[in-house]
Chain A
């Protein structure tokens, strides 16, 4: 079986991008990724577009983006795994190379969330779960779903609102020097703690923003990668899993079963363990999600996520640095773009191109943890320098 590597990366500025439409936004990262990879567009056999959609005008983003970037004619599809659509796109592109169908494939993650007003965006995300039983009569929102987990985690393990705020402070610290981040400003613990409540006990600063953005990776087979680049970053393990649509059917509210299973599968495939990982991105759509990610990924024991953030273990220079690009919280979370953005960040880290936020790479291993919905989908991917 061939190995598959990331050979090109591209990333748009994330934020409120009223200056560009969906095609223009995708183009920004596609062009960078093609240039970075040094491939010809005609050699890309499969273009997979990760986008949840619904908040922008185009119903068929894959063909709209393909036409705009001159990729029409390639095999293409749009994939959806909610906020993990980007990782699903990487997985689909990866599979098309593994199957021998093509030597080079592309995963584009793109989302345009600010063309509709914010209450409508809140509505569209709130409907993502079980519409009939948890939205129609009860108006659940994305922060509210995660708040159910936060309350249970706080009650069971003594995690505090201040612990959650610390995750936000960390995200903003790294976002402040990421020129592509939605928010590029440091914040204080007091500011996070004093922000408006959106779904008790989660506040505005516990929540990622509604963002526009795109990210692209070009993937290649081992043979093609060796011709294209001296710094391939290999996909060593991909694990994915899912959980029930209805939150009422979950076994507990202190972790995401899908994430635990996805991580176990990714570690097994890559033949590595959590302690081998040099640097990671975790899906911090809400601060509580990052703490649960530490636990679900096995970076610490269940219930000890808060201890990791209190002790700075996930800071730059800590035991396992997490979200050195600012994470979803500060970098922004254009739903479909996020998973691909994570792949871009880990590729930069493993290439040694992360600048001020370069983690120390000892074993040459990085990990992305990308969750769709409220643990409805989970994708964990292990990347390797060697």
Chain B
């Protein structure tokens, strides 16, 4: 079957966003220093992840940074086989949601264990990583 006639658009659109992190850049700065931190509301004590400068519980805007430590427990996971266009260079990767003490949950790649071999309740550690362009990110690895 031949393709239907189409007007192949000649005006490609590339979007690259400059996402402001002025209020939460300490998360990324700490990560570079090997610490995994997030925000805690100074008024009601709500700990948020992702970090946020305004509290979604009490709407207060005073906060401080707390260290979440390294230890987390695996909650659920998958292995992404069909990847998005912008991840085509990565091949396949395992993604996990893990819970830190106190109940904060975080989504990140899980390295060193295939999804089929993972089990919920597994003990994990969060580790900082750096991409080739110097940008920081974090992953889970088996403890």
Q: Which A residues have a C-beta under 8 Å from some C-beta of B? A: 18-19, 57, 117, 119-120, 122-123, 126-127, 130, 132-135, 137-141, 143-144, 147-152, 155, 196-202, 246-250, 253
Tell me if B84 and A200 are in contact (CB < 8 A).
no
Tell me if A126 and B84 are in contact (CB < 8 A).
yes
Interface size classification for chain B: 20 to 34
- Residue interface bits B78-99, CB-to-A below 8 A is 1, else 0: 1111111111101001010100
Q: 10 closest A-B pairs (Cβ-Cβ)?
A: A147-B78, A123-B84, A139-B87, A119-B85, A200-B79, A18-B4, A137-B137, A152-B76, A198-B82, A123-B85
A152-B105 Cα distance, complex, nearest whole Å: 15
The answer, yes or no, to whether B68 is at the interface (CB within 8 Å) is: no
Tell me if B116 and A123 are in contact (CB < 8 A).
no
Tell me if A144 and B120 are in contact (CB < 8 A).
no
- Residue interface bits B101-119, CB-to-A below 8 A is 1, else 0: 0000111110000011000
Q: Which residues of B contact A120 (CB under 8 A)?
A: 85
A120-B82 Cα distance, complex, nearest whole Å: 12
Q: Which residues of A contact B107 (CB under 8 A)?
A: 133-134, 138, 140, 246-248
A131-B6 Cα distance, complex, nearest whole Å: 32
Q: Which B residues have a C-beta under 8 Å from some C-beta of A? A: 3-4, 6, 9, 19, 49-50, 75-88, 90, 93, 95, 97, 105-109, 115-116, 120, 137
Our pick among B4, B49, B78, B86 for the contact of A19 (Cβ within 8 Å) is: B4
A120-B86 Cα distance, complex, nearest whole Å: 8
Secondary structure of the B contact surface, majority rule: mixed
A134-B49 Cα distance, complex, nearest whole Å: 12
Tell me if B82 and A143 are in contact (CB < 8 A).
yes
Tell me if A18 and B95 are in contact (CB < 8 A).
no
Tell me if B77 and A122 are in contact (CB < 8 A).
no
Q: Which residue of A lies closest to B17 (CB)?
A: A131
Q: Which residues of A contact B9 (CB under 8 A)?
A: 57
Apart from A148-B78, A198-B82, list 13 A-B contacts with CB within 8 A.
A18-B3, A117-B85, A122-B82, A127-B84, A134-B107, A138-B95, A138-B108, A141-B83, A144-B78, A151-B76, A199-B81, A201-B78, A247-B97
28 A–B pairs (Cβ distance < 8 Å), ordered by A: A18-B4, A119-B85, A119-B88, A123-B85, A130-B50, A133-B50, A138-B108, A138-B109, A139-B83, A139-B86, A140-B95, A141-B80, A141-B82, A144-B78, A144-B95, A151-B76, A151-B78, A155-B76, A198-B81, A198-B82, A199-B79, A199-B80, A200-B78, A200-B79, A246-B50, A248-B107, A250-B105, A253-B75
